[in-house]
Amino acid sequence: MWKWLYKLGSPKWFYTMTGQYMPWLVGLTVILLGVGLVWGLAFTPPDYQMGENYRIAYIHVPSASIAMGCYYMMACMAAAFLIWRIKMADMVAKACAPVGMTFTAAALFTGSVWGIPTWGTWWIWDARLTSTLIMLFLFIGVMALRSAYDSAQSGAKASAVLTLVGVVNVPIIKYSVEWWNTLHQGASNLSLSNTAANPPEVWVPAFFVGFGLLGFFLIAIILRTRNEILIRERRTDWVSDILGDARGEN
């Protein structure tokens, strides 16, 4: 276990390891997303109240969960970087910010598109929407702080501190805005026996899309991290060896 963790902290090991598993991850993601999207968007029955509108939830719900998970992942990486000075953790944290921001924006956008026909408004100052918007601001703040520093090392540490301050605030933000009257529905009861509003043929494809998007999220994080590794380790021998082939041909 510890040896594995130790290895994970090595940029070279991370680079070669992810390079090996990447085709599998991409293949799995394509299959999951393909099956889930085709099944969910084309073959599930329309909802008796919302008609075809509800299908956007196949994208909306996983995006929102992944965005929130991404913030916590970024916070764990920030803590690992500040406490143990693991360079890899900072590279992953750096990759998390823009990807998390995009997923948050996607959740907000799909929610708005769904809201126009269903709620009659694309935006409302509701607890869920507001706290998601604040999370978007937190992601933007972390990125802005990192890029404001000239020294990459200081920028990394400063944005890690801000990420951790933000993570204390995320639950507070969530519960503080829940004091308002809320329009957004809670999580649905998903079980095979619950056939009333959400029959399994509606939510089983959602699982495919959800895990597919999770795979897509991981691919995005890994690709960004791999680029970051190449940039930061460009003076090392092993990177020259990898890039040497590409350079040598020119």
Partner 1 sequence: MSIVIATLRRELLIAFRSPGDMINPLMFFVIAVTLFPLGVGSDKAFLSEIASGVIWVTALLAVMLSMDSLFRSDYEDGSLEQLLLSPQPIYFIILAKVAGHWLISGLPLVILAPVLASMLALPQQSLLPLLAGLMLGTPILTLLGAIGMALTVGLSRSGLLLAVLILPLYIPVLVFGTGLVDSAQGGMGISGLLALLGAMLVLAVCLAPLAIVAALRISVN
Q: How far apart are CA 94 and CA 88, in angstroms?
A: 10
CB of 8 to partner 1, least distance (A): 25
What is the crossing angle of helices 11-38 and 200-232, to 10°?
150
Query: How many residues line the site for partner 1 (CB under 8 A)?
Result: 27
CB of 148 to partner 1, least distance (A): 5
Looking at the Cβ atoms of 148 and 197, the one nearer to partner 1 is: 148
Stretch binding partner 1 (CB under 8 A), from 71-79, 135-143, 183-191, 199-207: 135-143
- 164 lines the binding site for partner 1 (CB under 8 A): yes
Among 22, 140, 167, 242, binds partner 1 (CB under 8 A): 140
Amino acid in position 130: T
- 149 lines the binding site for partner 1 (CB under 8 A): yes
Largest CA distance in the chain: 64
Among 36, 100, 166, 205, binds partner 1 (CB under 8 A): 166
Looking at the Cβ atoms of 172 and 243, the one nearer to partner 1 is: 172
Question: Distances from the Cα of 35 to the Cαs of 4, 183, 207, 211, 223, in angstroms?
Answer: 34, 32, 10, 11, 24
| Contact indicator for 209, 40 with CB cutoff of 8 Å | yes
Among 28, 152, 165, 231, binds partner 1 (CB under 8 A): 165
Q: Residue 241: how many CB atoms within 10 A of its CB? A: 9
Tokens of 237: 């021998």
Looking at the Cβ atoms of 170 and 230, the one nearer to partner 1 is: 170
Among 9, 69, 141, 200, binds partner 1 (CB under 8 A): 141
Q: How far apart are CA 75 and CA 90, in angstroms?
A: 10
| Contact indicator for 172, 179 with CB cutoff of 8 Å | no
Q: How far apart are CA 21 and CA 26, in angstroms?
A: 9
Among 26, 28, 148, 152, binds partner 1 (CB under 8 A): 148
Amino acid in position 195: T
Among 61, 75, 95, 134, binds partner 1 (CB under 8 A): 134
**Phi, psi (rounded to 5 degrees) for 223:** -65, -45
Amino acid in position 119: W
CB of 58 to partner 1, least distance (A): 29
Q: How far apart are CA 33 and CA 205, in angstroms?
A: 9
CB of 23 to partner 1, least distance (A): 39
- 145 lines the binding site for partner 1 (CB under 8 A): yes
- What is the contact surface with partner 1 in residues (CB under 8 A)? 82, 134, 137-138, 140-141, 144-145, 148-149, 151, 154, 157-158, 161-162, 164-166, 168-169, 172-173, 176-177, 179-180
